[in-house]
Structure 1
Amino acid sequence: MKRRHFIKKTSLSGIGVATVSPFMNHLYLSKMANSQPLCIATWNFPNASLKAGEMLDAGASALDAVEQGVMVEEADIRNTTVGRGGAPDREGNVTLDACIMDPSGNAGAVVYLKNNTHAVSVARKVMEETPHVILAGEGADQFARQQGFEKEELLTEDSEKAYKEWLKTKKYQPIINIENHDTIGMLCLDKNGDIAGACTSSGLSYKMNGRVGDSPIIGSGLFLDNEVGGAVATGMGEAILKSVGSFLIVELMRQGQSPQQACKEAVMRIIKQHPNYKEFQAAFIAMNKAGEVGSYCIQKGFSYMRYKGGKNDNFPSKFYF
């Protein structure tokens, strides 16, 4: 832990990241007086946000709530982009990516994980039981067995059928805003004012063997600072990876931007970098310590869940195109 804290301290000082100003601290503290437990999550996954939100209302920590919330989708075989039932890669393997962050800034992640439905729970074990942040492939699988996770078959009958149909043409073209699309990323604010986040995905359908997207990468698919807020991403992982979008959003909020302004700026940077932006989706959601929420995306059609005060609602995101 001493090594991790040393690295965190020296890394931040080396790139000149500003600390929260006394003004920002006063702003957050004054607004937090009116805040209450809150959960936001990417896409229209009401069961996931309901699970996390009800846990928060019952007094659960933000960390427990985000883990249990996204586990709902990992276990839902109707969702072909998360957990068991996820679409396989081009070789027919279902591989999962996930990460999780706690309020103190600790993080854990797994990439190219096979045989385990709840990748987010394995990621939490990496965070809590190892000196590392990321475990990959066979090492991640071995670690999961050591931690008591039973080996599971992730390729369902429906996913295998769809894969065999895809083999007839082997056309690789991401579909924008498909139903039950892509990553579930979640942020929770608990009764103590602490923020935690999680992100889990089976990645792009029929991806190249070994491909890893943004979902398990701290700073891209997920980032939070408990003094400021947090952000999660979904959509075309390659574009999000190159923008380090979630980290950018948190830093913009640290400088005083609202979650909405910061999400829009992150998307606009992706658009500027990619002339073919009309061919894919990239989206962000964010919250700050005051419980303010924002969302922005490239293409119309992205939405996000918000649970607060017993209300579990889906909201369309603002968009560029």
Structure 2
Amino acid sequence: MTQPGNRSAEGPKRPAAAKLIRTVVRGAAPAGPGIRRLVLMDPEGWPLPRQKPGAHIDLHLPNGMVRAYSLCGDPAQQDRYVVAVKREAAGRGGSLWLHDALAEGAEIGVSLPRCTFPLAPAATRHVFIAGGIGVTPFLGMAAALERAGGSYTLHLLHRGALPLPAQLPAGTALHDTSRTPRPALADLLGEPAPGLHAYCCGPNGLIEAFEAATRDWPPGRAHIEHFVPPPLAPDPEARPFTLVLAKSGASAELPAGAPLLPAIRALGEAVEVSCEGGICGACKVRWLEGPPLHRDRVLKPEERAEYLMACVAGCAGPRLVLDL
């Protein structure tokens, strides 16, 4: 997939390594069906960089894989990052390694926390819709809201045994869809009202139902986070274009629909990546000339005027210039 670039005879430079936080696994225990809860701490017990409610981190595995996981601990506990990993036998291998090979006492590098799924600061009431392991970002949100005296309702849709049962807030509304059909999300959400914001994290089918239920809500009141990148169909507006990296002057001619990340790497620049599906926010890059085609699920409309997500973005014009 890599596209050739115009570079000097010295060849492409080696991409810079991502800046990682060194952590040690201080706890690893089952936390529901096929779920492993990991507690990551500084090797010497120092505070870790602050996390916002709803944030996630990337775990950098020894084989080069990078996997994003929501932080599900109390954000006020600054000495640890807590993540929950669901074992995915048919996945890409990252969850299997984290279940089967990562032991307590082992070191693992993690990214700085990123928050693409924050609590709405203007909200006076929050309704959370979680599907299975999609409950993880809401656990930190709930802890922060309870400390601040905020108002929220958490609906957890699950099949059979509960995910992270020991961490679920008191009063969580449980909906076991192995016993009864999934409830209508419009009934769980209620009518849109001033100050009410709704949030959803879970499998794509649940998110699609949530988007349908909130289609007529005021803009900016419904928020989603995917934990699996949704499939991307070919964009009919895509066209061949010239990719230019402004700082180095390197360029490459790309066919319509060509991915940006391999081309950027071939031109000798590094972009941090994780999901490679437009849902985690790792590969955020400033664009200078375009217009780009935005196909991500994390950037706000105002952010898209300045940034793109390199893992899924394209170009709708003849030339795309990136601030790299």
Q: TM-score range by the shorter chain?
A: under 0.3
Name the structure with the higher strand share.
2
Name the structure with the higher helix share.
1
- TM-score when normalising by structure 2: 0.25
- TM-score when normalising by structure 1: 0.26
